[in-house]
Amino acid sequence: MTIIRATVLDTPGTLGDPDGLRSGEDVALVVRNGTILARTDVPSARAAYPQEEVLDLRDGVLLPGFVDTHVHYPQVRVIGGLGMTLLDWLRECALPEEARLADQGYARGVARDFLGGLLGSGTTTALVFGSHFAGAMDALFAEAVTTGQRITSGMVLSDRILRGELLQSPAAALEASEALARRWHGRGRLRYAVTPRFSLSTTEEMLEVCAELLTEDRWFTSHLNENPAEVAEVARLFPTSIDYLDTYARHGLATERSVFAHNVHPTDRELDVLAGAGCAVAHCPSSNSALGSGLFPLRRHLDAGVRVALGSDVGAGTGFCLLKEGLQAYFVQQLLGGEGAPLATADLLHLATRSGALALGMGQDVGDLSPGRQFDAVWVRPRPDGTLAMTMRHATDPTDALAKIFALGSPADIAGVWVGGHEAFRARPTTAGVTTPQEAP
């Protein structure tokens, strides 16, 4: 057991709650076997657990571990391909790199880069868009067992349009996906996600395979309404479908375990179907801006009752850090003016933590720092000579401090990350120390 002593900020309530930020300057989190047993004051924790060590993290701010609901594993090494729209970027940057993961040795290196990048950015839980190759998925899952992160992922399925080496037949896709799910689903903190790349690259037969793979304990993810040219081409390829979402929904792929990435250009009917089915949408603001895909209509999603969380996307985005995605989400809604959804500072943290946990069906386990949750946490401790540290010293209240973290924070300001009570990442030497009962002040 450990008593964590820290300034703690989290958002255990609902998105949009004007009083949604819960804060405490000197909170004691009592953690046993990775679970938060109590959230109290330091004297009470010491009195109840006099023999326990205290980890002092007051030199910084403790947040819940970040939850990324859309991030591409094979694209980590091609971040920064600017100057293109979606389909050009896929052809020129993403797909050639994704083909390289046929080499399992190369895939192992990418998996290490990818999961290390997530951890170093404070992401403890992620819905990961995987690789087209089963061997590369084995590499990702094996590395995730080592790092301990909560990863939901699966082999990407496509049987048309893409480069030939990224395609497989529906029968081969079914066999390989089932084998991967048997090997990895439920092992450690891993879950399997059925993952067609998008309707553009999947035939009706492949989508039927996806329906067969989507058992009651597996997840589903794909892309939806990202780019106008993509939407138009899907309409051409599926002339009998009502809209883009219908290409999935008619196969039973729109459920409460489905997370659709982007959805920048939805119809009202699609929003109603998403809400009725309990689907979630992963909003990827940096990627949408970089590719010129459009400004995400968050207000329309929320008014329709669609759950929304954040995704970094990675390859077409600007990195793994959900602090940056929260800030970009804020900018997008500001640019939309009256059509945008006004986002408070607490909403940015909610989108990066609890919203993602709820979208992934993990709201009882992670997403905030309440008793009963797993101790998944990010310790933000800016360098003392940096601008963020200076502005936080002058913060007027916890909301102002959190706003400064989103405005200025980056992976360089993340000093430590815990997953299930285990310290999975420590950036640099710090003043954090463990106090024994005999040394307690």
The pLDDT score that the predictor gives to residue 105 is: 96
CATH number at residue 431: 2.30.40.10
The pLDDT score that the predictor gives to residue 430 is: 52
241 and 195 both lie in a single domain = yes
173 and 227 both lie in a single domain = yes
What is the overall mean pLDDT for the chain?
94
348 and 414 both lie in a single domain = no
pLDDT of 232 over the 90 cut: yes
The pLDDT score that the predictor gives to residue 433 is: 54
In angstroms, the Cα distances linking 138 to 132, 134, 191, 206, 434 are: 11, 6, 13, 22, 37
17 domain-assigned = yes
Domain count, the chain: 2
Domain end (from 298, 333, 359): 359
92 and 76 both lie in a single domain = yes
349 Cβ partners below 8 Å, 6+ apart?
9, 10, 11, 21, 63, 326, 402, 406
Q: Which residues of 353-389 are buried (b: 16+ CB within 10 A; e: fewer)?
A: bbbbbbbbbbbebbbbbeeebbbbbbbbbbeeeeebb
Summarize pLDDT for 108-156 with one digit per residue, the tens. Answer: 999 999 999 999 999 999 999 999 999 999 999 999 999 999 999 999 9
pLDDT of 50 over the 80 cut: yes
The pLDDT score that the predictor gives to residue 438 is: 45
Q: What is the value of pTM for the model shown?
A: 0.95
228 domain-assigned = yes
Q: Which domain holds residue 322?
A: 66-359
pLDDT of 199 over the 80 cut: yes
Domain end (from 312, 337, 359): 359
The pLDDT score that the predictor gives to residue 439 is: 53
Q: For helices 322-335 and 398-408, what crossing angle results, to 10°?
A: 100
CATH number at residue 111: 3.20.20.140
Domain end (from 320, 339, 359): 359
> DSSP letter string over 362-399?
-TTTSSS--TTSB--EEEE---TTSHHHHHHHT-SSHH
317 or 289: which leads in pLDDT: 289
CB burial class (10 A; 0-12, 13-18, 19+) of residue 242?
A: middle
Q: Which residue has the tokens 């046993």?
A: 32
160 and 282 both lie in a single domain = yes
Dihedral pair phi/psi, residue 379, rounded to 5°: -100, 110
395 and 315 both lie in a single domain = no
85 and 10 both lie in a single domain = no
Long-range pairs, 407-410, Cβ under 8 A, ≥24: 407/327, 409/321, 409/323, 409/380, 409/382, 410/321, 410/323, 410/324
328 and 387 both lie in a single domain = no
Question: What integer is the mean pLDDT of 251-275?
Answer: 98
346 and 418 both lie in a single domain = no
90 or 362: which leads in pLDDT: 362
95 and 25 both lie in a single domain = no
195 and 239 both lie in a single domain = yes
364 domain-assigned = no
Summarize pLDDT for 271-303 with one digit per residue, the tens. Answer: 999 999 999 999 999 999 988 999 999 999 999
204 and 258 both lie in a single domain = yes
